Amino acid sequence: MSQRHYTFPPVFNEDEREQFARRLSSWYLANRRAMQWHGADAYSVWVSEIMLQQTQAATVTDYYNRFMKAFPTVHHLANAPIETVLTHWSGLGYYARARNLHRAAQVVVTQFGGLVPDQQEALLSLPGVGRYTAGAILSIAFNRQVPLVDANVERVISRLFVMDEPPSSSHGKANLWAIAEQLVPATSPGMFNQGLMELGATVCTPTDPACPQCPVEPFCKAARTPNPAQWPPRLQGKKIVQETHCSVIVRNNSGGVYLLKRPQKGLWGGLWEFPRVICIPQESPSVAARRAAAEILQVKVGTPSVMAVIRHTVTHHNITLYGCEAVPHEEPVTGERIKLVPIDCLNDYPFAAPQVLLRTALTNRRDVEVQQALNL
C-alpha cells in the first residue's frame, strides 16, 4: 500500500473502507456506461479526461472518437499543427484545453520519449495537467493508489459525510482530497475512482439524487436527512452577464466569405470567426453589423439582413449572437488574420461553438440556394 498523506480525521475504519470499496466497485462493474476510453492506455485516458473537464460525457464521445482517429498516438498529436488540432476540437469549447494538450504532447515526445509519464511530479509538469487529471491517469492507466476529485466526486463525498465547507473554498477542497485519499483502495484504484465519478454522474446527481439506488447508501449521512441535495454547500456564484454580439457575413462576387482569426490569448483564442463585435446598449444588429465591417474589414457594406440568431452560454455569459449578411461596397483587404474562404472550405477552419452554429446556418442556406438554382 502506498504511503498516506491525508490530514483529515479518519472517516472509516479499515473494515468499513474495504466494504465501501467493494460495494462501489461491484456496482460500477455492473452499471457503468459504455465509453470508448474505459480500459484504454495512458494517452487515451489523458485525452478523454481533458475533454471531460467542464463537458458532459455524452457530448465528449463523438469528439473523442474523431480526435483519436486523427491523432491516434501522442506522436501524431505532437507533430500536428495547432490549427489542425483546434479544427478537430472545434465546437467542444474551452479551447485552452486543446492548446495545452498539444503543448503537453510535444513535451512528452521531447522529454519523455513519447511515453506518458507514470509519476505524479512529471505529469503535473505538463501544461494543462492538474491534480485531478494526474490522478485519473495514474489510477486508471497505471493502477496506482492515487485519489482524484472532480465535480461528481465532490458531490458524492460531500453528501457521504455532510461536509459543511463549500468545495470551492480552500479548506473544503483540502478536506475533499484528504478524504478521497483515505477512500481509494490499493486494489483496483482506477475502477474505484471511476466508480465514484460514475456514481455522481448517474445516481448522486445535483438536484435529484436516487438514494434508494445507491450502492453505498448505508454509509451516507446525507441520505438519512430530508434533503440530501442540499450538499455540497455553495459559495455565492458570479452574476450571469447578458451580452449581444453581432457577426457580419460578407461575401465577395465568387461567393466566398471573409473570416477573422482571433488573437491567441483570451476567449476563443486562435480560432476563426465571422467578423464580430459586442453590441453597445440599444444598438441594432444592422448597425452593429455595419460597425463590424468598418472596424474589422475596413469596408462599408449595404443594408445588412439578419440570417440567424444563436444563443450560447460560456463562463458566466449568456450570449445572443446575430449573424447578418451584407454586400461590401469594395473588396476587403486580406492578410494573415483576414481570409477570403470558399463556403465549401469553412469546415477546414476551427470555430467556437456559437460560430459553428452560424457556419451551419450559412452552409444550409447555401445548399437551399444551390437547389433553387438547379430547379430553375
- Tell me the CA end-to-end span of the chain in Å, nearest whole number: 76
pLDDT band at 267 (very low <50, low <70, confident <90, very high): confident
Q: Look-up: residue for cell 482530497?
A: 177
CB 294 within 8 Å of CB 348: no
pLDDT digits (tens, 9 = 90+) for 63-95: 999 999 999 999 999 999 999 999 999 888 889
Give percent above pLDDT 90 in the chain. Answer: 80
Band (pLDDT 50/70/90 cuts) for residue 269 is confident
pLDDT top residue among 40 and 176: 176
Q: Can you give the pLDDT at residue 160?
A: 97
The CB density around residue 80, as the number of other CB atoms within 10 Å, is 17
49 catalytically annotated: yes
pLDDT-derived band at 234, boundaries 50, 70, 90: confident
pLDDT in tens, 135-155: 999 999 999 999 999 999 999
Query: Is the separation of the CB atoms in 257 and 249 below 8 Å?
Result: yes
Can you give the pLDDT at residue 1? 37
Q: Which residues are paired to 322 by β-bridges?
A: 246, 309
Per-residue pLDDT averaged across 24-51, rounded? Answer: 91
State the average pLDDT over residues 261-290.
Answer: 93
Of 54 and 132, which is predicted with more confidence? 132
Average pLDDT of 95-120? 97
> Among residues 14, 16, 49, 83, which one is catalytic?
49
CA atoms within 13 A on the CB side of 352: 27
Report which of residues 235 and 1 the model is more confident about. Answer: 235
Dist CA 26 CA 284 (whole Å): 58
Closest to 220 in 3D by CA, of 25, 20, 10, 32: 20
Does the global pTM surpass 0.95?
no
Domains in the chain, start-ordered, CATH in brackets? 14-230 (1.10.340.30), 241-375 (3.90.79.10)
pLDDT of residue 259: 97
| HEC string for the chain | CCCCCCCCCCCCCHHHHHHHHHHHHHHHHHHCCCCCCCCCCHHHHHHHHHHHCCCCHHHHHHHHHHHHHHCCCHHHHHHCCHHHHHHHHCCCCCCHHHHHHHHHHHHHHHHCCCCCCCCHHHHHCCCCCCHHHHHHHHHHHHCCCCCCCCHHHHHHHHHHCCCCCCCCCHHHHHHHHHHHHHHCCCCCHHHHHHHHHHHHHHCCCCCCCCHHHCCCHHHCCHHHCCCHHHCCCCCCCCCCEEEEEEEEEEECCCCCEEEEECCCCCCCCCCEECCEEECCCCCCHHHHHHHHHHHHHCCCECCCEEEEEEEEEECCEEEEEEEEEECECCCCCCCCCEEEECHHHHHHCCECHHHHHHHHHHHHHHHHHHHHHHHC
Average pLDDT over residues 110-136: 97
Per-residue confidence (pLDDT) for residue 265, from 0 to 100? 82
